[in-house]
Structure 1
Amino acid sequence: MTPIVKATSSAALALLLLTGAAERAIAQTRPELGRVHIPYDTFTLPNGLKTLVYTDRSAPTVFVGVWYGIGSKDEPQGRSGFAHLFEHLMFQPTPDRPSPWFPPLEAVGATGINGMTTADFTQYVETVPANALDRALWMEADRMANLGRGITQSGLDEQRAVVKNEKRQGELNPGAASEAQFLKAYYPPDHPYAHTTIGSMDDLDRATLDDVKAWFENNYGASNAVLVLAGDIDVATAREKVARYFGGVRRGAPISRTLQWTPGLAEIRRDVVYENIPVAALARTWPLTNDAPRDNTLLQLAARSLANGPGTPLYDALVDRLGVATGMSAGVNEGQLTSAFTLTATLKPGVTPEAAGAAIDAAMQDFFATGPAADRLETVISASDVALLRTMENSGAIGAWLADGQVNHGDPTYFLKQREWIGAATPAEIRTLAARVLSRPYYELIQMPTAVDPVAPVADPVDPARMPDPGPAQTRIVFPPIAEAVLPNGLKLVVANRPNLPLVDARLQFRTGSLAEDAYGRGTAGRAFSLLTAGTRRYDREQLSRQASRLGVSFAAGADARESGVSWSMLKARLDDGFALAAEVVRHPSYPQSEIDKALEAVGPQFDAYERNPIAAAGPVYARAIWGDAHPYGRIGTRDDAKTVDRQAIQAFHDHEMGPNDATLYLVGDITLDEARRLAAKYFGDWRPVSATPPATLAAAAGTPGRVILVDAPGAAQSSVTVGHVVGPFNPQTSAAEALADSILGSGLNSRLNLNLREARGWTYGFDGGVSDAPTGQRVFTASGTVEAERTADAMTEIRKEIAAYVADRPATQDEVDRDRNARILALPSAFSGNGAFLSSIVGSAGYSLPYDRAASSGERLKAVTLDQVQALSRQTYHPDRLTWVVVGDLKTIEASVRALNLGPVEVWDVYGNRLR
């Protein structure tokens, strides 16, 4: 969903609170945050120009930035878009510099030359070699002093046309109509944030040469600017140079402006906008005053803990468990006049905004009652701090933070103050603050897709008292024609011709994986595939990334136990180039030692995180309890295992296990078999066959059923409960009945386990279960989720009760079978809307030795399932007397009550599956 909040995010806070990708590698125990000191200096010239200086001699470069205290909020009626227009004009020539802005700086090796306009300020930045600092300062002073005299009618007309085209392009983007509606509804008409930064066409058209010259003279004086110098420069040198170049620049008149204005919402307001977007979305915005900056900073922590990614309550509830959304996010947008907390949800096709809104309400009420999980908050805090400290190696980033703090908060080191607030935050404080602020009225904007076809005139009046029945459902999945071929070297081709769009998706699937790595070292298969894009014989990582981007090709690779693969997508017009690059990646990886070293360096922090967050051990410990410690599926990797992988082993695995005679190239999209054969022969035809390790025959699971395994997670507010047992091999004849049996018991939105533990008891955000996928051999039924620590034993009782009743006195009912069957059948077409869906289905079916178009018959197979079949298969599949339990939680809180259940022998293990007692 397009962000639509008209407020300017603090650069410092945005960098402090990076995406969740960094969090997974961070230990989830909050470290004692060390003191960070930024030794900056500041001085002000007589004309009012404030200068910030940060000295860092580590590189002979200087970051130069000028922040002007003028943004779109300062534009009067009839002058909207002037600040942004001037961002363009400020790169134009001056009387003393007849050339455009870029050439003189590029000639001396400057980098990062850029400008940006926001609602609150305009900034211009570049990083120059220290020896070229004088040139940069002269140029900045020259445009501050003289640009007004250099603006010409032709220059104005040129840049106005550029800006108008930029505006038109922006209005074509999904979300443009929503932004316009948001600004109109959320802010009062005369609020400084009530118009877009780019302005209106009419105001841009009305701008005269005299208007823009006056705008420059009134707003771009020295007293309305902050200059920052960061890098190979000291304050004495800076003072002399700045005085020399900027001392004669006009001061400029003081600017009268609004300082604070927070929109007031007496009640919830909800609007809907229909526009050209693929799926519905909604955004809720709560106004925030700037009187409490610490609260606004902590609300960002609340946002990250509430909705940003897997593991947060709203994401887990709406995306993973309820399936009403495909994405969730939340954040705080800080502006000089007002700030805002915004929560966004991208809805799953077919889900109404009302249903999504109700789910959001329920999840937020849970959050208000319990607050963020302690481990989640610790993760966010630790990850944010580590990210901040790492980026502080860049003097330019520090310079930008200093300027941002000065311009937006009157404190250059405001970002360090935020760091202190973040480091001291507690779950209780976040819960209380979130409940207080987010219980207030909000503005909700619903984005709905416009209908593709025009609406026909209404023939008959609608009866408002009668809910319309749905029309006939189109549930048939139409597979594209599929053709096969085999190259002389054994490479098999499977091509599904789907010329809907000029796109092609490819996957090169190998019959190898972690089960073949015993001769090479644990983890070798995963490294061999994940490092394919780290470099090749022709490209290093950066060059390869640039080449792929240039061609519009994207790669993904990974290894599983029995099969592994490399995926890429490409444009029809770049098929030849795409195949060439894919062959380079797959056939000639260089596995640079430097990239392997980076992976090895990450081993320590990764295992630190694993050991300090025992909840993460639930899956690996459960696998060991089920399969046994000697079984490949029961192994838990250690630090020593991870550090034994070396380049020679990775290269050997690639050379001996990855070959054409052990692979299939699947292609879906605008490509024919003849085209595929020609390209495959050209780029893969001379690839030599290999003698790969034969597929392993796995022993039966050796775990002892009927045990309860406890793992201590001191202080954990919730317990992770995982329970299940081994089941028989996959049977394609009964798979449809099994899917419905699973759905009713544990894998569906309305499953018995979820309805009991979440809806009826309120002990969990969600609990689900089902039988694992495996093409051969034994599989595992597993049910899992996290529950309140104090309710751990009670939850275990209810789980066993539900499973026992399901195979005895309360089996599946006809209503349950019909409900879940219909839901699955009706959802089938939406699951096959793009090349990727067909590719995944074809590859998956092949992995099970089933017809490529097996999914096309899913609806018919589901329709054929009877209640008796579901009940009989349930009795064969689920065995409450064979359950193995793995519970990770605070043993001081849960151990005694769990033992008292008498569910079987109780053992206490560590996170590596070693029995402690």
Structure 2
Amino acid sequence: MKNFNKTVVSALFSGMLLLPSAIVPASEIPQHALAKINIDYQTFTLPNGLTTIVHTDHSVPNIYVGVWYKVGSKNEPEGKTGFAHLFEHLMFQQTIHRDVEYFLPFDKAGAVGMNGTTDQDRTNYYQTVPSNAIDLALWMESDRMGYLGPSITQDLLDEQRAVVKNEKRQGQLSPGAGIYERFLKNFYPKGHPYDHTTIGSMEDLENASLDDVKQWFNDAYGATNAVLVLSGDIDVESAKAKVSHYFSDVPAGKPMDKIDQWIPSLDHIQRDVIYDKVANISLSRVWPLPNSSAKDTTLMELVSRTLAGGKNTPLYDVLVDEKQLAVAVSANVSANDVNSIFSLDVTLKPNADPEQVEQIIDQTLQTFFKKGPEEDQLAAINLGGEISLLRSMESNEAIGSQLIQGMVHHNDPLFVNQQRKWISGADSDEVRKVAKRWLDKPYYEARLLPEPSTSAMTASVDRSKMPAVGEFNGKITMPPIHQAVLANGMKVVVAERHNLPLVDISMQFDTGSLVDQFYAPGTAAQAFGMLTTGTQEYDMGELAKKADSLGVGIVGGAGNQGSGVSWNSLSSTLDDAFALAAEVIRHPTYPQAELNKVIDNIDSSYDSYELEPMRSAAEVYNKAIWGAEHPFGQIVSREQAKQINRDTIKKFHDNEIGPNNATLYLVGDVTLAEATKLANKYFGDWDKVKPTPLPAITAAQGQVGKIILVDAPGAVQSSISVGHTVAAFDKDQAATQMLMDAALGQGFNSRLNMNLREDKGWAYGFGASIKNEPEGERVFTASGTVQTDKTAAAMSEIKREISEYISTKPQTEAELERDKSATVFSIPQGFTNNGAFMKTMINADLYHLPYQRIEGAAARLTEVTLAQSRELAKASYKPDALTWVIVGDLSKIETDIRALKLGPVEVWDVYGNKLR
């Protein structure tokens, strides 16, 4: 894949068993068998762990010397990217025993081919020296293996860091250079060893300290993590003596830990569209493969060559020759230790349609999955590889590279023989099957497009000041609303909107979790939440299928004082939708099997709750504010949660859910007459119930003025929830309260958020508001998470902001006007769909207000004065009666919090039980 194959192709085809550049016609394949190919070698390992491979060939007076370290960019921890490649450069610098750079002594000795490379899996160094220079080569290699660490100075580090940074910049010059980095980021999950480039990030390179670099050397470059190969004019006994002598003082170090295999999984096609200064459109697809030791990865090389390897391959023939849509087509396998990839690249001709090319690729792949390649193609590829291997045996460098590559990546110097066996034994059917196994699935695609042509324009914009906002004319007009009541007491409310053939429906009931005390904890939630698990007419699967066929979604949910079931429909299928919804609401069966799933999950849910104390913040805060005996302050225990049962749920349904307890709302393309007819047809014969009256909301009995701490060991942030109760909802003060809240804690520009997020940088976001309720006391809460070491300081800032807001620094006229404009101008934008009108109608009913109340919202907000807002703030906020709940690592925050002396401090567990 163009720009993606940074590690060359697999060991098989990048080493000695090379594929021919063109496929040999079957008629030209010699019938005689090739002589058996074998490479003689011996290995030995020193006591310090250095493994050495020796291949003897006295025909040429030279020796290939290679040292491969089993460390690459895959071994780099977060924040240390690019270290393996940086060391490729540092290893050529001076040591404490050598004051000249690495190349000079070799140049004088007549050595050739001196270099080093780094990829994801390994770093290698190599040179071919005259036989008489073997001692020099071994001294040099052992010297940097054993002594480079102590030799690195700040000057050497800075010098090579600058070189690498310029190498990175140079690599970014060519068009499309950023594709590879985007590919790694998007293709590999975070934490995968290959999720970053080998050259690393500029930030990590800049931050690399001398201590970091020395530690990396000590961890990665010991003898036990290296393999040495000597290939050429040397015998084993001489090699043993010389290697033992020169490497005897090299530390063993320790082997690098590694992930053996991690194949990325793509659930769907992932397409990345990139623009750059290129002339033609390029398409590049990538599929994940197993690691390089797998047979499938080797056979996928046959797929790449027979699918898009040049003329007489199907993709090349149709896209380049027949349709003339592309100028180049290729496929490649990039084989690596953790996972490999198969890539397919197409460069389009100008004006070619990429969608047409995509379709042809898909069609060609499907044909390949059915037919596979021709047998004579496979035979030609096998023959060409064998011939290439034979020719490579003339070179000590090629043989040495093949042996050490097999040893490092596969623990078998002649792993090439296993690959030859796989290649020679593969027939068309096997290649077809392996292609389908790995390519007939989702893939990652990069689509590189030319930047659009643009030109500068003549401008006359006045940038010295922003334009004034024009006169605001937005308003909300509720649709016509009509009501009726059925004989059984069900109320029907219709808001007509005939702009689209859509209808939203919600049946709301005057019941909720407040009556759980007469049943069992969680009964209301399960009674409404499990409505769609099965009915008298449909089991769960049949119900879902029926809903899908109508395009209807039915969902139920319970609140404290109100609960409901909502669905939607095309106006043309409204009758069928009502029939299905009536079946769900009136005849649920609450299957025991589905309830068992809920019960079976209770323990694991509570286990997670206990293991993640941060999740307890809201529960503990409610208990602290309301008190343990108040319905709003109770934390349901594991044992209480298990009290739920089918009989209790059915009893709740039969007692609490009925027509005389319900209001049916419809918004959309429907009239009251149509709605009433449907309501009577499907709910008219529904018998009345005797619902339990909702208990009155009693006053809070919580821990006023206390600080409650919950321990979350190891947490890097602390959760802060602080507040107190306020008076009941007053419709005449609602607009003032909204603007009063806005300046202190509602929205990005509020004082609390600007302080803790923007000014201090201690939090991602922090807010505060009064939560409205239709009955009883409400709660003012300021909440958010802050970094652990700033917990106490943040608490001081929060207390100060609230205190000053009602005293020395009250809300300003500028703040009021800013929030007033933002709120008034934005209200109409929220009323673009049926759901918005439905929600405001339901809320109006809940708060005993007219359905059209929203129409006057802008006027009420506009009329709020600064004096009114300041006065209400003084009456609402009580900085000296705050209840705090802090969840965090108490070993790091408790002492500082107690030192604040903001109130009595208690430590609770996640269930609100006092520990101390």
Q: Is the structural similarity TM-score above 0.5?
A: yes
State the 1:199 CA deviation. 1.9
Q: Distance in 2 between matches of 1:81 and 1:68?
A: 17
Counterpart in the other structure of 1:764: 763
Query: 2:497, 2:667 within 8 Å by CA — same for their partners in 1?
Result: yes
**CA separation of 1:578 and 1:805: change in aligned 2, threshold 3 A:** same
Asked if residue 596 in structure 1 is aligned to residue 595 in structure 2, the reply is: yes
Counterpart in the other structure of 1:691: 690
Asked if residue 702 in structure 1 is aligned to residue 859 in structure 2, the reply is: no
**3-state secondary structure, aligned to 1:786:** strand
Query: 1:479, 1:838 within 8 Å by CA — same for their partners in 2?
Result: yes
Q: Distance in 2 between matches of 1:560 and 1:216?
A: 52
Amino acid across the alignment from 1:79: L
**CA separation of 1:9 and 1:758: change in aligned 2, threshold 3 A:** closer
Counterpart in the other structure of 1:668: 667
Counterpart in the other structure of 1:719: 718
State the 1:220 CA deviation. 7.0
Counterpart in the other structure of 1:749: 748
Q: Distance in 2 between matches of 1:43 and 1:78?
A: 29
Counterpart in the other structure of 1:199: 356
Provide Cα deviations, 1:380-433, integer angstroms capped at 9, x if missing partner: xxxxxxxxxxxxxxxxxxxxxx97998479xx9xx9xxxxxxxxxxxxxxxxxx
Q: Distance in 2 between matches of 1:739 and 1:620?
A: 25
**3-state secondary structure, aligned to 1:721:** strand
Question: What TM-score comes out, normalization by structure 1 length?
Answer: 0.56
State the 1:467 CA deviation. 3.4
State the 1:845 CA deviation. 1.1
Counterpart in the other structure of 1:609: 608
Provide Cα deviations, 1:343-374, integer angstroms capped at 9, x if missing partner: xxxxxxxxxxxxxxxxxxxxxxxxxxxxxxxx
Q: Distance in 2 between matches of 1:815 and 1:706?
A: 32
Counterpart in the other structure of 1:95: none
Query: 2:296, 2:434 within 8 Å by CA — same for their partners in 1?
Result: no
Query: 1:10, 1:404 within 8 Å by CA — same for their partners in 2?
Result: no
Counterpart in the other structure of 2:347: 190
Asked if residue 551 in structure 1 is aligned to residue 550 in structure 2, the reply is: yes
For 1:301-450, list aligned pairs within 5 A: 407=438
State the 1:777 CA deviation. 0.3
Q: Distance in 1 between matches of 2:451 and 2:700?
A: 51
**3-state secondary structure, aligned to 1:545:** helix
State the 1:611 CA deviation. 0.6
For 1:623-662, list aligned pairs within 5 A: 623-662=622-661
Counterpart in the other structure of 1:582: 581
Provide Cα deviations, 1:545-597, integer angstroms capped at 9, x if missing partner: 11111101011211011100011110011000010000001000010111000
For 1:208-357, list aligned pairs within 5 A: 222=372, 251=378
Q: Distance in 1 between matches of 2:884 and 2:633?
A: 15
**3-state secondary structure, aligned to 1:632:** coil
Asked if residue 79 in structure 1 is aligned to residue 79 in structure 2, the reply is: no
**CA separation of 1:539 and 1:77: change in aligned 2, threshold 3 A:** same
Q: Distance in 2 between matches of 1:216 and 1:445?
A: 30
Counterpart in the other structure of 2:514: 515
Amino acid across the alignment from 1:655: D
**CA separation of 1:671 and 1:899: change in aligned 2, threshold 3 A:** same
Question: What TM-score comes out, normalization by structure 2 length?
Answer: 0.56
Amino acid across the alignment from 1:538: E
Q: Distance in 2 between matches of 1:727 and 1:191?
A: 68
**CA separation of 1:193 and 1:912: change in aligned 2, threshold 3 A:** farther
State the 1:470 CA deviation. 3.0
Query: 2:306, 2:377 within 8 Å by CA — same for their partners in 1?
Result: no
**3-state secondary structure, aligned to 1:199:** helix
Asked if residue 886 in structure 1 is aligned to residue 885 in structure 2, the reply is: yes
Counterpart in the other structure of 1:902: 901
Provide Cα deviations, 1:842-901, integer angstroms capped at 9, x if missing partner: 111111001112111110110010000000000000010100000000000000000000
Counterpart in the other structure of 1:777: 776
**CA separation of 1:849 and 1:219: change in aligned 2, threshold 3 A:** closer
Query: 1:48, 1:223 within 8 Å by CA — same for their partners in 2?
Result: no
Q: Distance in 1 between matches of 2:868 and 2:685?
A: 52
State the 1:647 CA deviation. 0.5
Provide Cα deviations, 1:313-372, integer angstroms capped at 9, x if missing partner: xxxxxxxxxxxxxxxxxxxxxxxxxxxxxxxxxxxxxxxxxxxxxxxxxxxxxxxxxxxx
**CA separation of 1:633 and 1:552: change in aligned 2, threshold 3 A:** same
Provide Cα deviations, 1:729-777, integer angstroms capped at 9, x if missing partner: 0000000000001010001211000010011100000100100120010
Provide Cα deviations, 1:154-184, integer angstroms capped at 9, x if missing partner: xxxxxxxxxxxxxxxxxxxxxxxxxxxxxxx
Q: Distance in 2 between matches of 1:670 and 1:759?
A: 47
Query: 2:657, 2:691 within 8 Å by CA — same for their partners in 1?
Result: yes
Q: Distance in 2 between matches of 1:645 and 1:67?
A: 59
Counterpart in the other structure of 1:842: 841
State the 1:444 CA deviation. 13
Pairwise CA RMSD of aligned residues? 4.5
Q: What percentage of aligned pairs have identical amino acids? A: 43
**3-state secondary structure, aligned to 2:554:** strand
State the 1:496 CA deviation. 0.2
**CA separation of 1:189 and 1:67: change in aligned 2, threshold 3 A:** closer
State the 1:68 CA deviation. 12
Query: 1:69, 1:407 within 8 Å by CA — same for their partners in 2?
Result: no
Aligned residues: 563
**CA separation of 1:79 and 1:816: change in aligned 2, threshold 3 A:** same
Query: 2:304, 2:331 within 8 Å by CA — same for their partners in 1?
Result: no
For 1:490-569, list aligned pairs within 5 A: 490-569=489-568
Q: Distance in 2 between matches of 1:578 and 1:67?
A: 53
Q: Distance in 1 between matches of 2:495 and 2:309?
A: 52
Query: 1:737, 1:873 within 8 Å by CA — same for their partners in 2?
Result: yes
**CA separation of 1:218 and 1:752: change in aligned 2, threshold 3 A:** closer
Q: Distance in 2 between matches of 1:462 and 1:808?
A: 44
**3-state secondary structure, aligned to 2:687:** coil
Q: Distance in 2 between matches of 1:69 and 1:770?
A: 66
Counterpart in the other structure of 2:820: 821
Name stretches of at least 5 consecutive residues in structure 2 with no aligned partner.
1-181, 190-261, 269-289, 334-343, 383-432
Query: 2:478, 2:837 within 8 Å by CA — same for their partners in 1?
Result: yes
Provide Cα deviations, 1:92-143, integer angstroms capped at 9, x if missing partner: xxxxxxxxxxxxxxxxxxxxxxxxxx9999xxxxxxxxxxxxxxxxxxxxxx
State the 1:642 CA deviation. 1.4
**3-state secondary structure, aligned to 1:554:** coil
**3-state secondary structure, aligned to 1:190:** strand
Bigger CA radius of gyration: 2
Q: Distance in 2 between matches of 1:520 and 1:216?
A: 59
* Farther-moved stretch of structure 1 (461-470 vs 778-787): 461-470
**CA separation of 1:219 and 1:480: change in aligned 2, threshold 3 A:** closer
Q: Distance in 1 between matches of 2:873 and 2:463?
A: 43
For 1:124-203, list aligned pairs within 5 A: 190=347, 198-199=355-356
Q: Distance in 2 between matches of 1:445 and 1:739?
A: 50
Query: 2:300, 2:434 within 8 Å by CA — same for their partners in 1?
Result: no
Query: 2:299, 2:434 within 8 Å by CA — same for their partners in 1?
Result: no
**3-state secondary structure, aligned to 1:747:** coil
Q: Distance in 1 between matches of 2:582 and 2:349?
A: 55
**CA separation of 1:42 and 1:534: change in aligned 2, threshold 3 A:** same
**3-state secondary structure, aligned to 1:500:** coil
Counterpart in the other structure of 2:73: none
State the 1:609 CA deviation. 1.1
Amino acid across the alignment from 1:534: T
State the 1:221 CA deviation. 5.7
Q: Distance in 2 between matches of 1:738 and 1:445?
A: 54
**CA separation of 1:444 and 1:469: change in aligned 2, threshold 3 A:** farther
**CA separation of 1:219 and 1:506: change in aligned 2, threshold 3 A:** closer
**3-state secondary structure, aligned to 1:777:** coil
Query: 1:72, 1:196 within 8 Å by CA — same for their partners in 2?
Result: no
Q: Distance in 2 between matches of 1:653 and 1:464?
A: 65
Provide Cα deviations, 1:252-310, integer angstroms capped at 9, x if missing partner: 8769xxxxxxxxxxxxxxxxxxxxxxxxxxxxxxxxxxxxxxxxxxxxxxxxxxxxxxx
